A and B are shown apart, each in its own frame.
Chain A
């Protein structure tokens, strides 16, 4: 298996633009997580899905952020409109079941200028 696949690896965008981050979890994994990592705040859980259903989105910073998981093999995290303070590395991770090892994608490094 290729592991968790995220795209794009790097994104540079202007403030106010819409940004869409994509994630393909490991086949057969039931849970998917979106994290954001910054130097100041470390790794923060934004949202997680179990069997494609959003379970907890309390970490989503504000309404500008939205996430979807239309099927078991694909998820998106959208920021609209983007702001410079959204600049961070966004990781997607999947697990076989809750409480098992989390496998992370390589991350998307987002820079909003």
Chain B
């Protein structure tokens, strides 16, 4: 089983729509969770960290469900510029550092 699994998509949505997707992780002792964004042929960049209580950053909302071992990302009022691949990232070691990346979920926002 992969350490981090994501629905690859693609999610094709119109501008202004809401899109949400999840990722699951296998190590129940994982403590740190992130969403990174990667544009085509570019490097990944941190979008937001994911906290236990859930957190928002503008139009983006991240949630963590430890019991079911998944995190989610919701994008409201999507913009054309939100088109990208969203990488779920988990520190999969409880006593050390190893960021494990999901394969990414592709989102395409159309006009």
Q: Is A34 an interface residue (CB 8 A)?
A: no
Q: Digit string of A47-58 for contact with B (CB within 8 Å is 1, else 0)?
A: 010100001100
A55 to B93, CA, bound (A): 13
Given contacts A99-B32, A99-B91, contact A45 B42 (CB under 8 A): no
* Minimal beta-carbon separation of A101 from chain B (angstroms): 5
Given contacts A42-B103, A42-B104, A43-B87, contact A102 B98 (CB under 8 A): no
Chain B residues closer than 8 Å to A56, beta-carbon distance: 96, 98
Interface size bucket, A side? Answer: 10 to 19
Q: Which of A12-20, A61-69, A71-79, A103-111 lies at the binding interface? A: A103-111
Contacting A at CB under 8 A, from B31-53, are 31-32, 34, 42-46, 49
Report whether A104 and B103 are in contact in the complex, using a CB–CB cutoff of 8 Å. no
Report whether B43 and A48 are in contact in the complex, using a CB–CB cutoff of 8 Å. no
Chain B residues closer than 8 Å to A105, beta-carbon distance: 43
Report whether B43 and A45 are in contact in the complex, using a CB–CB cutoff of 8 Å. no
A105 to B45, CA, bound (A): 10
Given contacts A31-B97, A42-B103, contact A101 B46 (CB under 8 A): yes
Report whether B42 and A106 are in contact in the complex, using a CB–CB cutoff of 8 Å. yes
* Chain A residues within 8 Å of B, Cβ to Cβ: 31, 33, 35, 42-43, 45, 48, 50, 55-56, 91, 98-99, 101-102, 104-107
* Chain B residues within 8 Å of A, Cβ to Cβ: 31-32, 34, 42-46, 49, 87, 91, 96-104
